[in-house]
Amino acid sequence: MKPVIGIIPLVDVKQDSIWMLPGYMDGISQAGGLPFMMPLTEDQEDIDQLVDMCDGILFTGGQDVSPEMYDEKPMLELIDCYPALDHLESKIFKKAYKQNKPIFGICRGIQFINVAMGGSLYQDLPMQFCSDINHQQTLPYDQPWHKVRLIEDTPLAKLLGTDKIAVNSYHHQAVHVPAYGLTPMAISADELIEAIYDPEKRFVWAVQWHPECCLENDENSRKLFKTFVDACKPFEVLNIEEDVDFGCEETKEVMAVVTMKDFDGNEVKVKQPDKLLYARKIKIGDKVIYDVDGYLRK
């Protein structure tokens, strides 16, 4: 089965509607995932169910992240925020992050993830950040606009196999102080953070540029979506190194070392010595399925 990817909706306030750019959907679909646009809701039970049914979450571009979220007052009347979107993303991110589900952020996505984890933003680059680079390019948006340097030994540099790439760019806010736990992966020539990741999580990546606009003409953009979707695929459980007797559909909290195969077929061990792993063994016919830390592992 294809991994199911929930995509944060785009909001059109003037039209009182939510919508989706096809590039987000196409990027997921072409990479082997099954995308769907999530509803704009603040109902916690609905959000819990939505996150539970997803194998990964894509945080899209959109309105500015509310400065109140990083304890600042808006500097300009031009700051375009939508509190309902902030609330939705906050609840989704908190639950998905706690469950260690793969998360990918694009444009507003990198900004929101940084804020959600305790970082701050430049509210307006032209006003707060002196640079020769205009980070809001003109049409067409599928063309490279400036270069970014990939930081050595980060997952992004290893994925793309280079130390510099050209990216498109359309944003007036950006990461200012990176959140504790987030590591930069790419920096522009004017020293603006362009990509981040959380090395302690299964997959939490975010980029400031727009790979969804460049799928047809940029292999790096396709690689980003493919890596995200691959990270959303379930692990294969090989062994649980813990003598725990589970009854059918009975759930216990256990400390365990779990040997699995990752999406590249490599054997890995998951060990959380300071945290409880939630493990459940369910027998379906002659098959046994382990649900470890909220994920079904076949």
In 37-49, which positions are buried (b, 16+ CB within 10 angstroms) versus exposed (e)? bbebeeeeeebee
Place of tokens 């006003």: 127
The one catalytic residue among 172, 176, 194, 212? 212
CA distance 268 to 263: 10
Please state the separation of Cα 19 from the chain's center in Å: 19
287 forms bridges with which residues in the sheet? 284
Query: CA torsion angle for 65, 70, 72, 78 (degrees, to 10)?
Result: -10
The one catalytic residue among 135, 171, 172, 210? 210
Assess whether 214 carries a catalytic annotation: no
Closest CA to 108 of 70, 75, 64: 64
Residue 126: CB atoms within 10 A of its CB come to 12
**Is the peptide bond preceding residue 9 cis, with omega within 30 degrees of 0?**
no
CA distance 157 to 278: 33
> Kindly report the CA angle at 290 between 272 and 275, in degrees rounded to 5?
15
Collapsing DSSP states into helix, strand and coil, what is residue 278? strand
Assess whether 107 carries a catalytic annotation: yes
Query: CA torsion angle for 174, 176, 182, 184 (degrees, to 10)?
Result: 70
CA distance 257 to 238: 11
Assess whether 81 carries a catalytic annotation: no
Q: Is 90 exposed, middle or buried (0-12, 13-18, 19+ CB in 10 A)?
A: middle
CA distance 276 to 279: 9
The one catalytic residue among 107, 213, 214, 232? 107
Longest dimension (CA), the chain: 64
What amino acid positions are annotated as catalytic residues?
Answer: 107, 210, 212
